[in-house]
Structure 1
């Protein structure tokens, strides 16, 4: 078990109405009931029918609205369960209000309210809360100016009807302004970028995501549990009011719950056996009874939000608890947070894979270079030492061969330093070099080193190739000549460089050795094959008697 602690950060303020649609609707219902009751009390012509029954109904509706507001502020469970019943009750109350107040010249037959609602909803859809505020101000101002104009010219204006219209307009504008600002005014979720090298920041990504999720939702604590597909361990990181603990847990109930859990966000109360589960069709369903949540039991949490995290590395969940005034609206934002956390973990996993692939590529390239240069040079040096030994036995003068070997070692040392410098600084792909001159110098060097006859057949003049390509072809020729001498016992190697009809490079390497045996006829030289494939070319091996021939085609245009 490993633990990591981070510095505690101050918690941001919790907004009472953020993502609390149930509370806003319940409070608005009370305000509308109060405004409607006062409007009827101040209007001497209302109620039009059954005054005692009407006032009794309105007082009862106000009491019912106050009860619903208390429920919305105290219990997310009952607020969600009663939503359908409350909606039906509101519709019935509207119909009853129409019955008690409807007259031939009454307010409810006016198109003003319906048209104002249409304008405000249209502003909500198009421009969000800014459009709602602007539209509401225009409607209120224009209604007031129209009333002042009528009064100035002696027209009769009913002050009670005017006040009701303005009051309803203000209340409706407030509700729609909140709706537009909460649904469209939120900035997009964006997890903070952790410090460090991409691919090596998995712990930092998880701790940063926990802090961001806790402050976004207004939770006192948060935890992430991740189970990798190929490992029996479960990584659990917990942020309890700013103190972060990282734990690795072995197989057990938590791992079993992650393996079997449905992919659905859940608002739960384990003590009361209640849960609201978000379904894939944007609806919610309630569940009663025993609520089994492995991470909640591990963190000793009774009430909170649990949201699955989908990641390529494995299954995971995000747990949030101690949320002030938790409600069903929090499921949507928590789901968005879990989605962003999963994407951040996937990006980190991709960076780690890319880093591993880059390291593997460098290792393979370095191994090829060492094999085709240093290893083959040492093998050739061993051949020359054996020849020098024979010279000494025969009584011949060893000084010329020793001097030649010292020159060869000095030249190889320069090649090795050049390779080290290229690894440190990289190679410019825009630089060009004369391929024919490079191969001519190389074949002459290889002939002296391996004590064989080498021949270069090339088009007269220069063939300018990128320096990186020239280096790879030099290594191919070095490896081919070494193989022909060591394994084929050849005495002569011919190298031909030409351009085909599409100006692509063709390199042919042939020898007069033993060629390939029947058992090795299907084998391909690994280093040469890897280099040719990396250049996007094709390698063809012709088994001749005597010797063998390598035909290489590289799809690159050369210049003269």
Structure 2
């Protein structure tokens, strides 16, 4: 039934309604011998002709759409016939008064609020003339006339509002269809800046919020539009209990299970009144909030659902672009590996042979030094061969799990020797493993952090704690140095990256690991808290 109504065009509905109304009016007059009051023959003939005319129009509009001139002429004929019929059937107290409401209805569907204004003014004027020329004898008739006059005015206002709402929604969807494109202000996040600005203007809401989680990372991403600008951030995904948010309007596209919004999201972002729609894709799931200072009503629900689909597609495209970038980087590393193998490794091999030949012709003390140099060259050769093998994709154990404790402990021992410092390590639980790529990235991060602590902070002691949390490694590195120059207290991930605080190389390595990094600086030393996703 609903599909049938949606398939009927407005002019077809008007034509069918006109015919039905005319038929029932003729039956009503025929059933009541007291009607019409004036010139009964003329009234019967006119109404009968109007029934035939309405039926012909109904059949014609099923096949042909009336043009604007024809539609205007038909509307004028309707009002003229209605006026005459009301005059012939007791004037302002006529039971056919409902025809005037039909005129307002048809004007709304055809010409929206502009048609309603013109039609309302015209029929109120005609009804006033009929009231002034009618012979109203009783107080009951006077009351009925006054009430009907007020009814016409109120109905006109309501139809005017309805027409304005229809036009507003058409304009909203037309504007929404012209989605803008633009670059993101942060390469780690999808390009939502222009989309948010467009949606805020179209929906007339001051604030927008998208919160989503990547299925492959233990992070919650947040993009918030307020005061004309978009802010992006990352935070740890919490398993907060969920409850239906009070004072919030839910999207009609959301199921009862989806209607459960994390109370932490609502509280953290101060959301009291909003329209909500689920955002989803192959790599992510989350929520779109259209946030207002008061109840936004139900009319924004379809708009929010459409916007959520567009935003979800942009997030998915960003994820795919990142995968393409990673694939391109792997290809670049493969070419670099070939160049290293064909040039640098061959040169190191030649240097090793020359040092071996030189070693035979010198005294014992110098021979020992040359042997140490040759050993260092051989060690670098092995490291480069391993790098070349991995870059070419020949390392079959690349995806295999690696013991975190063994790998990190080896790095810390090397750092102790290289930088003349002391380190300690605690890993929980024992036997903790992660992918080889993650462990190698973490080892490089720790080596860089220790080197920076010694060189720039004057640190001599380092304490590393590694623990496993859900889908992530929680890592804390503390030293006894002087901390970051000019900075004191806790520094959030967002502040560290936006203000570019601390070591640029550590920020890059944290980004490569997909990690959230917080810093705490004080005169007693620097503390680095890292949350690294693991598969």
Instruction: State whether TM-score is above 0.5.
Output: no
Question: TM tier, shorter chain?
Answer: 0.3 to 0.5
Q: Which has the higher contact order (CA 8 A, sep 6+)?
A: 1
TM-score by length of 1: 0.36
Larger Rg: 1
TM-score by length of 2: 0.37
